[in-house]
Amino acid sequence: MKTRRDFLTQAPLGLLGAMVAGSALAQTGENPATGTPPPGSPGAFDTAPPVGPKLSTATFVEAEKLAQVSMTETQREMAVANWPTSMAALLERRTGPRKVALEDGLAPATTWFPAMGRAHVGPAHDRFVPSKVAATSLPAKDEDIAFASVAQLGTWIRARKLTSSRLTKIYLERLKRFDPQLRCVITLCEEHALAQAAQADKEIAAGHYRGPLHGIPWGAKDLLDTAGIATTYGAEPFRHRVPKDDGAVTRKLNEAGAVLVAKLSLGALALNDIWFGGQTMNPWLLQEGASGSSAGPASATAAGLVAFAIGSETQGSIISPCMRCGTTGLRPTYGRVPRTGAMTLCWTMDKLGPIARSVEDTLLVLNAIRGTDPGDSASVAAHLDYDAAAPIKGLKVGYFPGWMKDASATDLDRAALDQLRALGLVPTEVSLPDWPYDDLNLLLFAEAAAAFEELTLSGAADQMRTQTPDAWPNLFREARFLSAVDFVQADRLRRKVAKEMERVMAEVDLLLVPSLRDEMMVISNMSGQPSLTLRTGFVEVSQVRSDWAPDPKHPLPKLAKPHRVPYGVTLIGRLFDEGTLGRVGRALEAKAAVAGERPVGF
């Protein structure tokens, strides 16, 4: 096997290569006649064969603008002479000649662990004690059955007042009837669902009851692999992709006896609410999108088309559509739920979590899907401690005074703080340093561009429906020019920010924040904190809302008259302390008394 030094001394090189090789020979004391270095000579930087395109000092002048650095003309001249032999070869993995494919599912060598080396984080033991559901009669109307909670549906099924087959047919009929309005379904799994429901009924009749999700129909954000059923990522290049195996969460829900009725829409490659079939709409206001990227799960759940759904969040993709559609979303601690067999956007930020119509339903689902999987190196076997009857009086709820006063908050955010005080919690002011938290998004863009490198470099991203400046195709291309040095520095800043969150969460038991506050959306997703978003009231809007950057050529439509839509708040918890979020969230849900209202027409 030829060494780099062999190549330099034997291969015919251009003038630049000859100059560099000559310099290397002089430095190492090689015998010019034989090209053999003295024994024990080490390798050296800047001895690679020159590769890559021809450069000039003007190349670096322009590149400096992107990186926001500056060099002198002398430094640029050195870089021009040196780059082909020092840095360009580091791209061989993708430019060749020795190309190496990085297969889907291959994670980076480095893994983010929110505990940052602490041995014991979260509850000391497992405990899962949900509330007791009152024995009620089965409603006469299918619509009322469809909007019942997971807990209530499970009680009826276990008591054999309702079969899974009947419930599944109710949801399948509603999915067919309302999807033309909402565009929330990518693949209807009718045959698969009816077979699963029949099996659930058979098992329950035989006395084999698997638990509260047995026989319960659910919908999957279409980035969860389902064996033999298309998983499209909502994006044109993947619309015919059919996985051979179930993802870890799909498998766990199968084991719990749940019934998959539909693969639900997501904004293409998990961004916003537009996919290859159109825009998914908000059942509370059909003129506007459902927000994203868990658009289908939030829209379908809000409209009573599934009992619950699984969404995902990298930065806001559970919180935002739950706010828009008035559903309840639980974003688990990073690592709590295994992501094997789920589309990767960002290895160190992606999280899978439940979307439902009540707080306790999200805990029932979380209990079924948590745990480890060998395919996800970040997954951890942390305890879950949830006791619905445990007291919440005396718990400290942190809040940021400035955030509660500015435009990111409404009277409903402030009212929620008062409601928690009335429930016996102790509102406590907290603060974070005034740092440029958005700088952490360098990590998001770099990881996402890496996850979809082949899509970008092959040109397949050009097939995607949305090609605006703020859509993934453009952002993936731009991210190629981010600095690797700045990536490392952003990663260091991430640890610094996570330490600040560790300090804040040591002062309180949980936080109450305006749900869409940019800083906390970035911070808590980067640090890995769990969150719970729940409806606490309603507001009026006079204009359609959108996740997309404003486009002066296509202004958002104004409404003929103000429209009443749901609004919610978000609770942020300590790492792996979803149980406290559930207890407090359930009490706040009862206090606000608005969770049961349904969108008109559904």
Per-residue model confidence as pLDDT tens digits over 238-288: 999 999 999 999 999 999 999 999 999 999 999 999 999 999 999 999 999
Residue 32: pLDDT band (50, 70, 90) is low
**Considering only 260-274, 282-296, 550-564, which range has the smallest mean pLDDT?**
550-564
SS3 state of residue 323 = helix
Tokens representing 434? 């005034």
CB atoms within 10 A of CB 200: 27
What residues are paired with 221 via a beta bridge? Answer: 264
- Phi, psi (5° rounding) for residue 412? -70, -35
115: which residues sit within 8 A by CB, 6+ positions away? 121, 575
**pLDDT for residue 15:** 30
Average pLDDT value for residue range 89-113 = 90
Per-position DSSP letters for 339-356, written without gaps between them? -TTB--S-TTT-EEEEEE
Integer Cα distance of 430 and 417 in angstroms: 14
Class of domain 128-436+467-592 (CATH, top level): alpha beta
Q: Is the pLDDT of residue 119 over 80?
A: no
Per-residue model confidence as pLDDT tens digits over 453-482: 999 999 999 999 999 999 999 999 999 999
Q: Would you call the peptide bond into 97 cis, given omega within 30 degrees of 0 as the criterion? A: yes
Integer Cα distance of 446 and 462 in angstroms: 19
Strand 396-399: give its sheet, edge to edge: 185-188, 259-264, 217-221, 308-313, 351-356, 328-331, 531-543, 558-573, 510-513, 396-399, 426-429
**pLDDT for residue 31:** 56
Per-residue model confidence as pLDDT tens digits over 451-461: 999 999 999 99
* In the chain, % of residues over pLDDT 90: 88
Per-residue model confidence as pLDDT tens digits over 506-516: 999 999 999 99
Indicate the pairing of strand 278-279 with strand 285-289.
Answer: unpaired
SS3 state of residue 536 = strand
Catalytic residues: 221, 293, 317
Torsion sign, CA atoms 229, 232, 236, 242: negative
What residues are paired with 220 via a beta bridge? Answer: 263, 310
**pLDDT for residue 135:** 82
Average pLDDT, the chain: 93
Determine if the pTM surpasses 0.85.
yes
Residue 17: pLDDT band (50, 70, 90) is very low
**pLDDT for residue 35:** 62
Residue 406: pLDDT band (50, 70, 90) is very high
Element (H, E) at 102: none
At position 482, the amino acid (one-letter code) is L
Integer Cα distance of 301 and 306 in angstroms: 5
For the chain, what are the domain ranges? 57-95, 128-436+467-592
**pLDDT for residue 46:** 83
**pLDDT for residue 20:** 37
Q: Is the pLDDT of residue 12 over 60?
A: no
**pLDDT for residue 34:** 55
Per-position DSSP letters for 271-300, written without gaps between them? STTEETTEE-EETTEEEEE--SSSHHHHHH
Q: Which of 179, 173, 275, 177 is nearest to 222 (CA)?
A: 275
Integer Cα distance of 520 and 504 in angstroms: 12
Residue 556: pLDDT band (50, 70, 90) is very high
Which residue has better confidence, 175 or 103?
175
SS3 state of residue 260 = strand
E strands along 173-246, which residues? 185-188, 217-221
CA atoms within 13 A on the CB side of 285: 30
SS3 state of residue 408 = coil
Integer Cα distance of 368 and 107 in angstroms: 25
Average pLDDT value for residue range 18-47 = 60
Residue 16: pLDDT band (50, 70, 90) is very low
What residues are paired with 354 via a beta bridge? Answer: 310
Which residue has better confidence, 33 or 148?
148
**pLDDT for residue 14:** 35
Integer Cα distance of 295 and 282 in angstroms: 8
Q: Is the pLDDT of residue 518 over 50?
A: yes
Angle at 96 between CA 237 and CA 482, to 5 degrees: 65
